Chain A
Amino acid sequence: MNRFSFLWNIAIRDSRKNRSKLLLFMSSIILGVAALVAINSFNYNLRKEINKEAATLLGADLAASSNRPMDSTMMTILDSLPGERAREMEMMSMSYIPKTDETQFVRLKAIEGDFPFYGKIKTIPAEAAQTYKKGVSALVDESLMIQHNLREGDSIKVGTTTFEIKGKLSGAIGSVGAMSTVAPVIYINMSEIDSTGLIQPGSLINYAYYYKVPESFDMDTWKAVRKPQFRSDNVRLETIEDRKENLNRAFSFLNYFLNLVAIVALLLGCLGVASSVLIYVKSKTNSIALLRCLGMKPWDAFLVYFIQITFLGTIGVVIGIIAGVIIQSALPVLMKDFLPVSVEMAVSPRAIFEGLIVGLSVTTLFSLIPLVSIRNISPLRTLRVAVDEESDKRDWLKIGLYGAIVVVLTIYLWVLTSSILAAIGFVAGIVVSYLLLSGFAYLVVKLLKNSIPSGADFVVKQGLSNLFRPDNQTQTIMVTLGMGTAVLTTLLILQSILLNNVALMDSGKQPNMILYGIETNQMSELKTLTESFQLPILQQVPVVTMKIDGWQGKSKAQWLADSTMTAEKWAVNREARVTYRDTISEDETLVEGSLKPYKNPNDTIFVSLGTTFAEALNVQLGDEIVFNVQGTRVVTYVGSLREIEFRNLSTRFFIVFPGGVLEQAPQFQVLVTKTPDNVTMANYRGAVVKAFPNVSVIDLTSILQSVNDILKKVSFIIQFMAIFSLLTGLIVLISSLTLSKYQRLKESILLRTIGASRAQIFKINATEYTFLGVLSALTGLGIALISSFILTKVQLKLDFDISWWIVGSIGLGLILITIVIGMFNSRDVVSNPPLEVLRKENG
Chain B
Amino acid sequence: MSPILEVDHLSMSYKSGSNELTVLHDINIIIQEGETVAITGPSGSGKTTLMGLCAALDNPTSGNIKLLGSLIQPLSEDQRAQLRNKNIGFIFQNFQLLPSLTALENVMLPLELQGIKGADQDAKQLLERVGLKDRMTHYPTQLSGGEQQRVALARAFINKPKILFADEPTGNLDGDTGATVESLMFDLNKDFGTTLIIVTHNPELAAKTGRTIQLKSGHIVSDAKNSPQNTTN
What is the minimal beta-carbon distance from A280 to any residue of chain B, in angstroms?
12
Structural contact, A296 and B115, CB atoms closer than 8 A: no
CB of A338, distance to nearest CB on chain B (Å): 52
0 or 1 for each of B130-163: is its CB under 8 Å from A? (1 = yes): 0000000001010000000000000100000000
Among A13, A298, A380, A842, point to the contact of B57 (Cβ < 8 A).
Answer: A380
CB–CB A843/B90 < 8 A:
no
A6-B112, A292-B81, A293-B84 known; A287-B100 Cβ under 8 A: yes
The answer to whether B178 has its CB under 8 Å from any CB of chain A is no
Decide yes or no whether A329 CB sits under 8 A from chain B: no
Mark the stretch among B66-74, B91-99, B223-231 that contacts chain A. Answer: B91-99
List, in ascending order, chain B residues with CB within 8 A of A839's CB. 141
From residue A373, how far is it (CB to closest CB) to chain B in Å? 14
**For residue A9, which residue of chain B has the nearest CB?**
B112
Residues on the A chain within 8 Å of B92, using CB: 382-383
B residues near A298, Cβ cutoff 8 Å: 77-78, 81
A379 near B57: Cβ-Cβ < 8 Å: yes
Are A18 and B100 touching (Cβ within 8 A)? yes
Contacting pair A17 B57 (CB below 8 A): no
Nearest B residue to A301, CB-CB: B81
Name the A residues within 8 Å of B85 (CB-CB): 294-296
A298 CA / B58 CA spacing, docked (Å): 14
Note all chain B residues with C-beta closer than 8 A to A275.
Answer: none
Most buried by A among B77, B90, B98, B114: B98
Q: Which residues of A contact B141 (CB under 8 A)?
A: 839, 842-843
In the docked arrangement, what's the CA distance between A382 and B90, Å?
10
B6 at the A interface (CB under 8 A): no
Which of A9, A290, A383, A384: most chain B Cβ within 10 A? Answer: A383
- B199: nearest residue on chain A (CB-CB)? A383
Quick check: B98 and A296 within 8 Å, CB to CB? no
**CB-contacts of B177-223 with A (<8 A):** none
Q: Is A2 an interface residue (CB 8 A)?
A: yes
Q: Are B100 and A16 in contact (CB under 8 A)?
A: yes
**Residues of B within 8 A of A (CB-CB), count:** 35
- Indicate whether A17 sits within 8 Å of B139 (C-beta atoms), given known contacts A1-B112, A294-B110: yes
Q: Is the CB of B109 within 8 A of A294?
A: yes
Determine whether the beta carbon of A294 is less than 8 Å from that of B48: no
CB contacts under 8 Å to B, within A1-50, are 1-3, 6, 9-10, 13-18
Bound form: Cα–Cα A17–B100 in Å: 6
Q: How far is the CB of B72 from chain A (nearest CB, A)?
A: 13
Q: Does A286 contact B (CB under 8 A)?
A: yes
Are B52 and A14 in contact, with the CB atoms below 8 A? Answer: no
Shortest CB-to-CB span from B188 to chain A, Å, is 17
Q: Which residue on chain A has the smallest CB distance to residue B84?
A: A295
**A249 in the interface, Cβ–Cβ < 8 Å?**
no
Contact with B along A88-121 (1 / 0, CB 8 A): 0000000000000000000000000000000000
* Residues in chain A near residue B110, CB distance under 8 A: 294-295
Contact (Cβ within 8 A) B58 A294: no
Partner of B86, one of A10, A290, A295: A295
In A276-301, the 8 Å CB interface with B consists of 286-287, 290-300
Counting CB contacts under 8 A, is B101 at the interface? yes
Across the interface, which residues of B come within 8 angstroms of A299, CB to CB? 78
Partner of B117, one of A1, A297, A380: A1
Is the Cβ of B48 less than 8 Å from the Cβ of A297?
no
Minimum CB distance partner of A18 in chain B: B100
Residues in A whose Cβ lies below 8 Å from that of B100: 13-18, 287
Residues A382 and B96 in contact in the complex (CB < 8 Å), given A295-B86, A296-B81, A298-B77: yes
- In-complex Cβ contact of B115 among A2, A287, A293, A380 (8 A): A2
A290 engages B96 (CB within 8 Å): yes
A328 within 8 A of B: no
B113: interface (CB < 8 Å): yes
**A294-B90, A383-B48, A842-B99 given; A6·B115 CB < 8 A:** yes
A293 in contact with B78 given A13-B105, A378-B57, A843-B141 (CB within 8 Å): no
CA distance A475 to B229 in the complex (A): 60
**Which B residues lie within 8 Å of A290 (CB)?**
96-98
Q: Which A727-785 residues have a C-beta within 8 angstroms of B?
A: none
Interfacial chain A residues near B29, Cβ < 8 Å: none
**In the complex, what distance in Å separates the CA atom of A843 from the CA atom of B98?**
10
Is the CB–CB distance between A383 and B57 below 8 Å? Answer: yes
Report how far A695 CA is from B112 CA in the complex, Å.
Answer: 92
B24 to chain A, nearest CB (A): 14
Chain B residue, CB-CB nearest to A17: B100
Q: Which residues of B contact A15 (CB under 8 A)?
A: 100
A2 to B98, CA, bound (A): 22
Contacts of B114 in A (CB 8 A): 295
B51, CB-defined interface residue at 8 Å: yes
CB distance from B161 to the nearest CB of A (A): 10
Min CB distance, B203 to chain A, in Å? 21
In the complex, the answer to whether B112 meets A297 with C-beta atoms within 8 Å is no
- For the complex, is B116 an interface residue (Cβ under 8 Å from A)? yes
Q: How far is the CA of A293 from the CA of B99 in the complex (A)?
A: 16
**Chain B nearest Cβ from A698, distance in angstroms:** 72
Cα–Cα distance between A10 and B99 once the two chains are bound (Å): 13
Question: Which residues of B lie under 8 Å from residue A1 when comparing CB positions?
Answer: 112, 115-117
Minimum CB–CB distance from A751 to chain B (whole Å) comes to: 22
Q: Which residues of A (311-355) have their CB < 8 Å from a CB of B?
A: none
Inter-subunit contact B78/A294 (CB<8 Å): no
Q: Is the CB of A286 within 8 A of B96?
A: yes
Residue of A nearest to B159 (CB): A295
Contacts of B115 in A (CB 8 A): 1-3, 6
Contact pattern, B 96-130, Cβ under 8 Å of A = 1, otherwise 0: 11111100010001101111110000000000000
Contact mask A206-218 → B, CB, 8 Å, 1/0?
Answer: 0000000000000
Using A10-B112, A383-B57, A839-B141 as known contacts, say yes or no to A297 and B81 having CB atoms under 8 A apart.
yes
Establish whether residues B52 and A380, one from each chain, have CB atoms under 8 Å apart when the complex forms: yes
With the chains together, A211 CA to B195 CA distance in Å?
99
A186 CA / B71 CA spacing, docked (Å): 95
Instruction: Say whether A17 contacts B99, CB under 8 Å.
Output: yes
CA of A300 to CA of B115, assembled, Å: 13
From A289, which residue of chain B is reached at the shortest CB distance? B96
A616: min CB distance to chain B, Å = 68
B101 touches A294 (CB 8 A): no
Chain A residues within 8 Å of B86, by CB = 295
Tell me the nearest residue of chain B to A286, going by C-beta: B96
Residues of chain B lying within 8 A (CB to CB) of residue A294: 84-85, 90, 109-110, 113, 155
- Chain B residue at minimum C-beta to C-beta distance from A292: B81
Residue from A15, A16, A839 having most chain B Cβ neighbours under 10 A: A16
Cα distance A340–B112 in the bound complex, in angstroms:
64
- Nearest CB in chain A to that of B142: its residue: A843
Q: Is the CB of B77 within 8 A of A297?
A: yes
B2-61 CB contacts (< 8 Å) to partner A: 48, 51-52, 57-58
The answer, yes or no, to whether B82 is at the interface (CB within 8 Å) is yes
Considering only CB atoms, which chain B residue lies closest to A388 in the complex? B14
CB–CB A296/B113 < 8 A: yes
| Chain A residues within an 8 Å CB radius of B51 | 383
**Min CB–CB distance A119 → chain B (angstroms):** 64
Q: Report the bound CA distance from A18 to B48 in whole Å.
A: 31
Q: Closest residue to A382 on the B side, CB-wise?
A: B96
In the assembled complex, which residues on chain B have CB atoms less than 8 Å from the CB atom of A378?
57-58
Q: Distance (Å) between the CB of B60 and the closest chain A CB? A: 13
Please give, as numbers and ranges, the residues of chain A lying within 8 Å of B88 by CB-CB distance.
295
A13 and B58 within 8 A (CB): no
Establish whether residues B57 and A293, one from each chain, have CB atoms under 8 Å apart when the complex forms: yes
Query: Which residues in A have their C-beta under 8 angstroms from that of B48?
Result: 383-384
Q: List 5 A-B contacts (CB under 8 A).
A: A13-B105, A295-B86, A295-B114, A297-B77, A379-B57
10 pairs of A and B residues whose beta carbons are closest in the complex = A295-B85, A843-B141, A17-B100, A295-B84, A297-B78, A380-B57, A297-B81, A16-B100, A379-B57, A295-B81
**4 further A-B pairs in the complex, CB-CB below 8 A; given A18-B100, A286-B96:** A1-B115, A10-B109, A294-B155, A839-B141
Report which B residues bind A (CB closer than 8 A).
48, 51-52, 57-58, 77-78, 81-86, 88, 90, 92, 96-101, 105, 109-110, 112-117, 139, 141, 155, 167
